[in-house]
Amino acid sequence: MGKRILLVEDDKYIALALKIRLQAEGFQVAVVNDKAAAFREAGQQPPDIALIDFNLPDGTGFEVMGGFTSNVRTASVMNIIMTASKQPGLRSEAMMAGAIDYFEKPFKSADLIACIATLSQRPALGGMAS
C-alpha cells in the first residue's frame, strides 16, 4: 500500500486535482481544508507526508507544522509547504520552520510527485505502517 499523504488545501479545485494525481501514483490521500481539520485527521491517522497550503482559513501552514512537530504521534510527519504567496523570504521561513520542501503555486505536479516519491523512499516515515 502507498504512503499516506495528508493534503491540507482550502481550494477545492487544487485539492481535487492533487488528490487525483497523487492517487494515480499509488499514494493514499486524505484531504482537509483547514488547520483544525488537519489536526483532527492527523490525530486519527498520522500521515507520512503532509502537503500544506500556507494560507488557510483558520491559520497558516506554519501553525499546522508546529502542531504536528509538538505532538508525539505526528512529530515525524514530513511537511511540504505550498503557497501562492510571493512574500519575500517565505521559502526560507518555511525551511527554518521545518518544511522538507516548498512549492510556489502554480507549480508542475510532476515536480511535486518527484519530491514525494523521493521522500517516500526514506525509511521510518510518519506514524503509519505501510
Full set of structural domains in the chain with CATH: 4-87+98-120 (3.40.50.2300)
Name residues of the chain where pLDDT drops below 70: 1-2, 123-130
Q: Where are the beta strands (DSSP E) in 10-107?
A: 28-32, 49-53, 55-56, 59-60, 78-83, 101-104
Largest Cα span, the chain = 39
Integer angstrom CA distances of residue 33 from 43, 62, 96, 124: 15, 15, 24, 27
In the chain, what percentage of residues exceed pLDDT 70?
92
* 17-53 tens-digit pLDDT: 999 999 999 999 999 999 999 999 999 999 999 999 9
For residues 81 and 94, is the Cβ–Cβ distance under 8 A? Answer: yes
This prediction's pTM = 0.91
